[in-house]
Structure 1
């Protein structure tokens, strides 16, 4: 049986906005029948949207949970400022705290994928009192470093991050902002579409491969209507905002040095991490030894045969992974709601 999924502008959920000064966030708010057992906040990565969680929202709602899913800063209907200072993890964590406080008086469960999966660990570092459980898809916990490192230095240690050099430069943005068809090719390619000779939209040692973009065919797992939605939403602002997440290494490095002085490296609440076997940029080996950082335990898994876009490629398995984790965190609270 096909899993339930949201559609663009789905009337079953509320489409809301919240402002922090000049910054405005768009987010989806899904409420269950009756009083929610808890609230779940889901954070997407690059170059996704809140829509990337469309298979997870109805499922979590069915468990008696309230679900909040924003377009992250720079994406979709959320503001896309040009100033890099707006995109620091510390600054955006304050935005997430504001969204949480607007909808929950109790600590929430926080989850993320890709950049969102990295970001959740920092949201916890800044606002541990707001979170009772945390999970990441494809991104292991990387503690704040007391030593500031440049992106170039990180790439030397982790060559699988070489693509980030292009993303942080003007090159990737220039490629993507040339036409909506570039966006269509990128999104189809990320979801399994290929050129006639089998090439994808990116390479981890390069970044975006420009000559491939407009020759990539339809995704085998995402509909043309869904891709149309991505093209429309990414065309609102272009790619300056999404690429700005890669341009804050220096600013985030300063914040991490300060954070490392004041914060233990341990995660003190229940946590979960799932990796994808075929993810070249974030291979499962990056999660080796993670358990040492988690005082309350770490639920860890690898989905075999899967690539980076687990929420769409393997929604049933991801829903089970998240659902089992949520049930383990909430226990009797969830049973009472059901």
Structure 2
């Protein structure tokens, strides 16, 4: 895509009439769980009566539990209990300095412990961006815990038996060039210099523009310093919502979120160990929703995915959407999620309606 941004200038926004959580919404409970020096914050939303099942939603970079604000009320209205954490490094969750703390074996074990505090039954799992990669790995590590999984914007990649560097990955996939800047420490230093820069970055990464139409972030570069203090309001966030994002990202700054790019993650020893233990197949029902105008994760990345899924893979494409598909087109995404869950639960779902 020519402009190389995750929110193209011709993107439409279709979220005005959808029920969404507010920053201090009384419909959710705020919970905390500690693992030694690390504490997670998460929200818990419950339906009236006994839940049909539990849905866990995981967010990506640079987001919060609040990124799922259009999905939580809808899923609760269908009869589901919903758990949404601030992932490690974000919001009220701890943000350890060491990249090693952001390993998938550690983080998946922590999130599983949170889930088990609220249900002893298999769950429905959904993720977006890094949260989607996390969701795929959660299925790899804990297949018995997952009844079904859906990913927004991120195709599945089986664990690699071969180590490779971030530089190697970028050579193969230039659409990930921005990750070099995020892993280097440059981006966080640019953003964390002032509250005004943080606000400009968050407005810009969620679609705000300079008066001349410039971007704050491009997949071919990363964060664009000269635009950080020129960015106007985001079309995806109200004033109350952007204030909330600024408040939450002010707690720790951007070092923790950028640690997801510094951690060996999908490229290190953990992946090699996991590859020895699994054939890489996903054996639960799965859905992959791609966004037509996502420059970082273009739809063609989903080509050929079916070979990894023993229970079949439902693939959907949201036309006209940027990377923030669940915020920009929540009705479409919510309908896809509902229909997918209905196809998995069958009579259990119908009986609850």
What's the CA shift string for 1:244-286, capped at 9, x where partnerless? 0000126852101111111011100000000111100100000
- Name the counterpart of 1:224: 239
Corresponding residue number in structure 1 for 2:281: 266
Distance 1:251 1:314 in 2: 29
Partner of 1:146: 161
Q: Which stretch of the first structure deviates more once superposed, 326-335 or 58-67? A: 326-335
Aligned alpha-carbon RMSD (Å): 1.1
Decide whether aligned partners of structure 1 residues 118 and 251 sit closer, same or farther in structure 2, where only a CA change above 3 A counts.
Answer: closer
Decide which of 298, 305, 308 is 2:323's aligned counterpart.
308
Q: Which has the higher contact order (CA 8 A, sep 6+)?
A: 2
SS at match of 2:262: coil
Write out aligned runs for 1:52-63 (5 A): 52-63=67-78
The structural deviation recorded for 1:19 is 1.1
8 Å contact from structure 1 (residues 150, 250) kept in 2: no
Q: Structure 1 regions of 5+ residues with no counterpart? A: none
Is the 1:88–1:252 contact (alpha carbons within 8 Å) kept by the matching residues of 2?
no
Offset of 1:185 from its aligned partner?
A: 1.4
Count of aligned residue pairs for this structure pair: 338
CA contact (8 A) 2:104 2:265 kept: no
Q: 2:80 aligns with which of 40, 48, 65?
A: 65
SS of 2:272's partner is: helix
**Deviation at 1:191?**
2.2
Moved more, 67-76 or 200-209: 200-209
Partners of 1:89 and 1:252 within 8 A in 2 = no
1:279 pairs with 2:294:
yes
Equivalents in 1 of 2:339, 2:36: separation in Å?
Answer: 38
Q: Give the match's secondary structure for 2:33.
A: strand
| Structure 2 equivalent of residue 90 of structure 1 | 105
Preserved contact between residue 122 and residue 144 of structure 2 (Cα < 8 Å): yes
Partner of 2:335: 320
Show structure 2 runs of 5+ residues with no match. 1-15
Residue 5 of structure 2 corresponds to none
Q: Which TM-score applies when normalising by structure 1?
A: 0.98
Match of 1:156 in 2: 171
1:289 is matched with 304
Q: CA deviation at 1:243?
A: 0.3
Distance in 2 separating the partners of 1:93 and 1:104: 16
Residue 185 of structure 1: aligned partner: 200
In structure 2, the partner of 1:213 is 228
> C-alpha deviations, 1:193-221, integer Å up to 9, x for none?
10011111111111100111111101123
Matched, 1:32 2:52: no
| Distance in 1 of aligned mates of 2:46 and 2:266 | 36
> Retained in 2: the 8 A contact 1:173–1:243?
yes
Deviation at 1:9, TM superposition (A): 1.9
1:138-178, Cα deviation, whole Å (9 max, x unpaired): 00001100111100000000010010000000101101111
SS at match of 2:228: helix
- In the TM superposition, what is the alpha-carbon distance from 1:336 to its structure 2 partner? 2.3
